[in-house]
Structure 1
Amino acid sequence: MEYQLPKTAKKLRAKVGLDDGGAIRGGKTTPAEVKFAVYTTPPPAKASSPGGSSSGEPAFDPTNLSPQKVPADHLIVADDLEVTVWATTPMLFNPTNMDTDSAGRIWVNEGVNYRRHATRRAEGDRVVILEDKDGDGQADSTHTFVQDNELEAPLGIAVMDNQIIVSQPPSLIVYTDVDRNLRFDPSIDTRKDLLTGFNGRQHDHSLHAVTAGPDGKWYINQGNTGAKFTTADGKTYSIGGPYQGGGGVFYNDNFKL
């Protein structure tokens, strides 16, 4: 980030929070750090874009990957449940959220263009559809519903009939699959920013999950950055404030926090 201060400025106060998994990660101190610098002439390098990557980021090559796979037996479940692998790379890459449609297909947001890797895919991130067509308990079909250069590691998705709602700050995007062929074609289908103005692009504390309630309303999850957003008809609303409420409250079914 950079600020151009007025010539009359004599003091600058700044407050920074490290958003890198916390001060301790894996039992070790995180290498994240913040440096402040004041220049009387233009600095030698510009600040990077929000969550952005350095120049020269290699292009995303799906044929040259070594994904880290978590063994299914590492997941602890009840004795009457079994964990199996349903789909893995290269059918999908770095999933961030998913939803299931009425036909049992799984719709997945990908987050390849995440933070310092924000330019890996010039065409933007994707929403992909996976399906188990032969019913053997494993996905055997995958294809892209949409690839949009506005998508950068979107964190929420909900499939409601032929409307696909994607949480991508600064907007809540609605893709309508008009011809219902499960592929977004801008010449036929429609794309609309239902809400816009959510802060924190490439920020894990901003706009998250979206789902439909039994009352017919849509519910969205907004992190603790706060937000001031606008509807398509121009109405503006506010949610909380920056980091209001700290890091949140975690709850599980033993009634303990």
Structure 2
Amino acid sequence: GYIPPPEQHPLGGYTTWAARTAGLETEAEPRILETALSLLEEVAGKPRRAVALTGGVYADTVAASKPAAWWRLEEMDGTTAVDATGQNGSGVFEPGTARFLPGADGRRGFLPPQPSAANAFSGPAINRAAHFAGGRLKTKLPAGDSWSAELWVWNGLPADARAVTGYVFSRGPEGDAAAHGEHLGIGGTFRGADGSGPDISGKLILFNGNERDQVLAGRTALAFQAWHHVVLVREGGKVRVHLDGNPEPELAGDFAHTVPAGCDEVFFGGRNDGLFGLEGKLDEIAFYNRALAPAEIAAHYAASGLTPPVKAVVAATGTPPPLTPPLSPQESMGKIHVRAGYGFELVASEPLLADPVAIDWDLAGRLWVVEMADYPLGMDGKGSPGGRVRMLEDTDGDGRYDKSTLFAEGLNFPTGLLTWRDGVIVTAAPDILFLRDTDGDGRADSKDVLISGLLEGNQQLRANGLRWGLDNWVYCAAGGHHGEYGTGTKFRSRRSGTEVTVGSRDFRFRPDTGELEPQSGPSQFGRNRDDWGHWFGTQNSRPLWHYVLEDQYL
């Protein structure tokens, strides 16, 4: 549920919601977990099993190369990254990192972990990784003239988002404003002080600090949201970086570092001065007190069983294609399964409509659709409204809609729709609108505000679900996800001139007179009744509930 572990609080809590969602202290999750495990130990009469690291072919190959330090990054929680070799001590996760995310595999995008099946990294267990979103993994490693750093990198930030997409490895004094050291990262939009430099966006780069200000850049742009194997090798004054097991270095040459004498501080997932932290994941970090040979690096990658991911070709719009291509309407139909005796037919699809969230039919059989095109950040990423209402018609009577008319646009995150008289009622917080076409051109030219004061904020928690009741009132879901959400909400009926405290409850109204009353609630999305007038609501963690007693009887 909404009880984030401590490391997620600096990231905003459960997914993107505030960490205070559950209203509990920061350490609530580990305390609850420890209490539950202790009770299970008491009931079972035996201690809990210790979590043991497991390995597959890749892990065995790395172990055979005898790294001086090796962070598998399989930790479930806490701030410590354990060195699997036991030689150089553990690393420390800074705030702004998360643990136990899906680890290196051959897939792309944000995907759930692969089921427990034999894999080259963790053997029979699911492979795990650490996610970096502002924090770093820091440790101390004495490095001589020759050494190698090997790691798996998954970048989640588009390469055109900032000057440097992110640093994955860094040696140098912590907090050094001049960034003395040597730093391996992924290039971004920076093209040199005068802007005339080469395009290195998405390519591996090696930087030696602000004073020398030298950069070596690779040839290949890393695939977005895909796992890459990267090895940085230093041999005295020379460096080379290998990508995805290629014996031919991605970048190589004479390259002096600026690490101060005696400095042994090392960072993963960010630079030593804290700039341009990686927005992505790292896995299986190994450090060697020697230079790995190209053939040995190739053997490590081969042991993973993976193949280099292909960089997505960017279209003329500057936007890469989706990681999972959309299915055609016919292909989508093939994914639907219904009970025996039931069937389904396709009546409308793109390009007649897009982004539908609510529908209703009028007496002429026309299908009216609300399109929430502005979800979740607006058309410009800053909240600009862009919701639409479309009217679909079947002009040839074949049972499929073939004509689409844009009835209204520029609506503020519309969520619900109901046909009424010669127009449509639309929920678009903070208002419930009545839209009409008075000149017969198929577009709304009259807009009346029926009710105002609807709660805005989270677009997933807005009033919606307009439905007629048997009593000829229009019922509406408030959109809240619990009874304490929006308790001070007041609605104003423009037609009756009255103000009603609805709070977190659902509500009903008469669109002709403006009468307005609270109802038992809330329901988050959708409020529907059966043929006997029993009303049902929902919440994203509870698929259905029944309002046994209506609000006016409580």
TM-score bracket, normalised by the shorter chain, equals 0.5 to 0.7
Work out whether 1:167 is the aligned partner of 2:427: yes
1:251 is paired with a residue of what secondary structure?
Answer: strand
Q: CA deviation at 1:206?
A: 1.8
- Which residue does the alignment assign to 1:102? 363
1:76 and 1:20, CA in 2 relative to 1: closer, same or farther beyond 3 A? farther
Alignment of 1:121-140 (within 5 A): 124-140=386-402
Q: CA deviation at 1:202?
A: 5.1
Work out whether 1:184 is the aligned partner of 2:477: no
Instruction: Work out which structure has the larger RCO, using CA pairs closer than 8 Å and 6 or more positions apart in sequence.
Output: 1
Q: CA deviation at 1:178?
A: 3.5
- Which residue does the alignment assign to 1:77? 338
Q: Distance in 1 between matches of 2:18 and 2:340?
A: 34
Aligned partners of 2:450 and 2:493 also within 8 Å:
yes
Q: Distance in 2 between matches of 1:240 and 1:110?
A: 27
- Which residue does the alignment assign to 1:146? 408
The CA RMSD over aligned residues, in Å, is: 4.1
- From 115, 127, 152, the equivalent of 2:376 is 115
1:194 is paired with a residue of what secondary structure?
Answer: strand
Q: Distance in 2 between matches of 1:101 and 1:170?
A: 25
Query: Which one has the bigger helix percentage?
Result: 2
- Which residue does the alignment assign to 2:118? none
1:21 and 1:122, CA in 2 relative to 1: closer, same or farther beyond 3 A? closer
1:76 and 1:116, CA in 2 relative to 1: closer, same or farther beyond 3 A? same
Q: Distance in 2 between matches of 1:240 and 1:215?
A: 23
Larger Rg: 2
User: Which one-letter code corresponds to 1:207 in the other structure?
Assistant: A
User: Which one-letter code corresponds to 1:251 in the other structure?
Assistant: L
1:146 and 1:75, CA in 2 relative to 1: closer, same or farther beyond 3 A? same
Q: Distance in 2 between matches of 1:202 and 1:171?
A: 15
Q: If the length of structure 1 is used for normalisation, what is the TM-score?
A: 0.64
Q: If the length of structure 2 is used for normalisation, what is the TM-score?
A: 0.32
- Which residue does the alignment assign to 1:194? 450
Structure 2: which 5+ runs fail to align?
A: 1-11, 20-100, 102-109, 114-130, 134-160, 162-316, 506-520, 525-537, 547-554
- From 417, 426, 435, the equivalent of 1:157 is 417
- Which residue does the alignment assign to 1:239? 502
Work out whether 1:68 is the aligned partner of 2:326: yes
Q: Distance in 1 between matches of 2:335 and 2:452?
A: 40
Q: Distance in 2 between matches of 1:212 and 1:130?
A: 22
Q: Distance in 2 between matches of 1:139 and 1:107?
A: 11
Aligned partners of 1:118 and 1:152 also within 8 Å:
no
1:116 is paired with a residue of what secondary structure?
Answer: coil
User: Which one-letter code corresponds to 1:129 in the other structure?
Assistant: M
1:244 and 1:89, CA in 2 relative to 1: closer, same or farther beyond 3 A? closer
Aligned partners of 2:479 and 2:522 also within 8 Å:
no
- Which residue does the alignment assign to 2:470? 214
Aligned partners of 1:162 and 1:180 also within 8 Å:
no
Q: Distance in 1 between matches of 2:403 and 2:370?
A: 16
Aligned length: 204
Deviations, residues 32-59 of structure 1 (Å, cap 9, x unaligned): x9xxxxxxxxxxxxxxxxxxxx9xxxxx
Structure 1: which 5+ runs fail to align?
A: 1-15, 34-53, 55-60
1:22 and 1:68, CA in 2 relative to 1: closer, same or farther beyond 3 A? farther
Aligned partners of 2:434 and 2:449 also within 8 Å:
yes
Q: CA deviation at 1:75?
A: 2.1
- From 348, 355, 376, the equivalent of 1:87 is 348
Q: CA deviation at 1:112?
A: 1.2
1:132 and 1:21, CA in 2 relative to 1: closer, same or farther beyond 3 A? farther
1:119 and 1:81, CA in 2 relative to 1: closer, same or farther beyond 3 A? same
Percent identity for Structure 1 against Structure 2: 25
Q: Distance in 1 between matches of 2:421 and 2:326?
A: 34
